[in-house]
Structure 1
């Protein structure tokens, strides 16, 4: 079952370590067609940090995010989010845990077309049976630049605006850990620069922990540190890379 780890013994407050993976392995297929997506990955991320995960296609970055977020089950190893071990939990327990502790921002915005911006923002609270604070929702949407779009539906918004709704949704639900999978992949250049800045603000202002998979060096430049994966293994970690990656992104943009 989903169970609390030793770091969660001090009470209901957030654990000092937001994410811990220990020897996590995940393979797909069988026989000659078997592909090892994660090969004994071990890592730990402190609460209140912004981490980017980068690697070439097929390196295991998305699989890492899915296993870390409880969306997929590793073949072996331990996954602990906010002090709670996810390994071995039932689907019902994992769903309940995700609704209460984990926020998601995907490349595709996962908004319901029939609901307004305001309704999409508070939907996770309703699904979890939690109290809906509409004033807080309005304030959060205003903070991400959508205060005048509360009654609009997703089809009336740009891609960047829809991604802002997804970020506001994660903030309103007060999820302690936010996983973002290529959140700028479907956006124009301007919006692709604004979204990582909003995620960084979620860390700095709201104390969230953000783990973002990205191929965009400029998006990664907003992170506190960058993890590099290759062939399902951690290939390195760089801290204080903001300026270096930002320059790399500018060079790439200039050449395009």
Structure 2
């Protein structure tokens, strides 16, 4: 499998002089196309910074980031915005839906912002895959939290992105609803060949991934394939996350 996202010696420093804080330190990793990767670590380990640099939301202080062979280094904010809009999907803990828009209008919003047409067959397939048939005309207030996150996932998929980044996508959901959403993300990878990179603090959420990357003090200190929630929790304890 080829890498859809590649970080080479990526460092990110916030601030200057004595107040400078290194959030990432020379991180090198590749994310294979068609894989599900979870990123874990203690609070302050650099998880969010990793996601922001990998997704072109933040510019590294050093090192390089590639998306599908395109180097993000040297791109200006306009170019990065266009790249994110066309080639990256985002799912956040807060669903970030527009309350005045229907389900379908929320899903297709990225296309309208980009001035692109809507492929009706693709839209119907996505709505079906995320289990929102019969809800297309509803507004967010008429949906449960789990349904709203399904809308957010559908919105992330509608542009056929090369990778979907999730920042604690199940953090605001109850346990049963979270499992439904994680099962959906797993199906997106297995059934649609999508690539998902998810930051999470939840060992159960991480167990749905193919690989777990562990961050501590801005570095990748370990990785785990075929994770179980028990193995993930045990490894996190040794990172000092829950001591």
Q: Provide TM-score, normalisation by structure 1.
A: 0.87
- The structure showing larger relative contact order (alpha-carbon pairs under 8 Å, at least 6 residues apart) is 2
2:118 corresponds in structure 1 to 132
Equivalence for 2:204 = 218
1:157 corresponds to which residue? 143
Contact 1:54 1:213 survives alignment (8 Å): yes
CA distances 1:159-202 after superposition (whole Å, capped 9, x unpaired): 11111001111222211100000001111111111112111111
- Which position in structure 1 is the counterpart of 2:24? 38
Counterpart pick for 2:90 among 97, 104, 107: 104
Query: TM-score by structure 2 length?
Result: 0.92
* Rounded Cα–Cα distance in structure 2 between residues aligned with 1:143 and 1:208: 13
- Residue in 1 that maps onto 2:48: 62
Give the CA deviation at 1:87: 1.1
Aligned with 1:75 (options 42, 56, 61): 61
Alignment correspondent of 1:93: 79
Aligned residue number for residue 29 of structure 1:
15
**Paired position in structure 2 for 1:122:** 108
> Which of 159, 162, 186 is the matching residue for 1:173?
159
- Aligned residue-pair number: 234
Residue-by-residue CA offset, 1:27-58 (whole Å, 9 max, x unaligned) = 11223322110011010111000000000100
How big is the shift at 1:245? 4.5
Kindly report the root-mean-square deviation, in angstroms, between the aligned alpha carbons of the 2 structures.
Answer: 1.6
Given candidates 150, 153, 172, the residue that maps to 1:186 is: 172
Q: What per-residue deviation string (whole Å, max 9, x for no partner) do you get for residues 117-153 of structure 1?
A: 0001011112222220234323321221211111111
Partner of 1:234: 220
Alignment-derived partner of residue 47 in structure 1: 33
Q: Is the 8 A contact 1:224 1:242 kept in 2?
A: no
- In structure 1, the gaps of 5 or more residues are 1-14, 249-256
- Structure 2 unaligned blocks of 5 or more: 235-243
1:242 Cα offset (Å): 3.4
The whole-number CA distance in structure 1 between the counterparts of 2:233 and 2:63 is: 37
Q: Secondary structure at the match of 2:66?
A: strand
Tell me how far apart the structure 1 counterparts of residues 67 and 212 of structure 2 sit (CA, whole Å): 19
Deviation at 1:243, TM superposition (A): 6.3
- Secondary structure of 2:177 counterpart: helix
> Deviation at 1:247?
8.7
Range 81-90 or range 238-247, more displaced:
238-247
Give yes or no for contact 1:144–1:198 (8 Å, CA) kept in 2: yes
Q: Which shifted more, 187-196 or 68-77?
A: 187-196
> Alignment partner of 2:192: what SS?
coil
Over 3 Å counting, the alpha-carbon distance change for 1:247 and 1:181 in structure 2 is closer
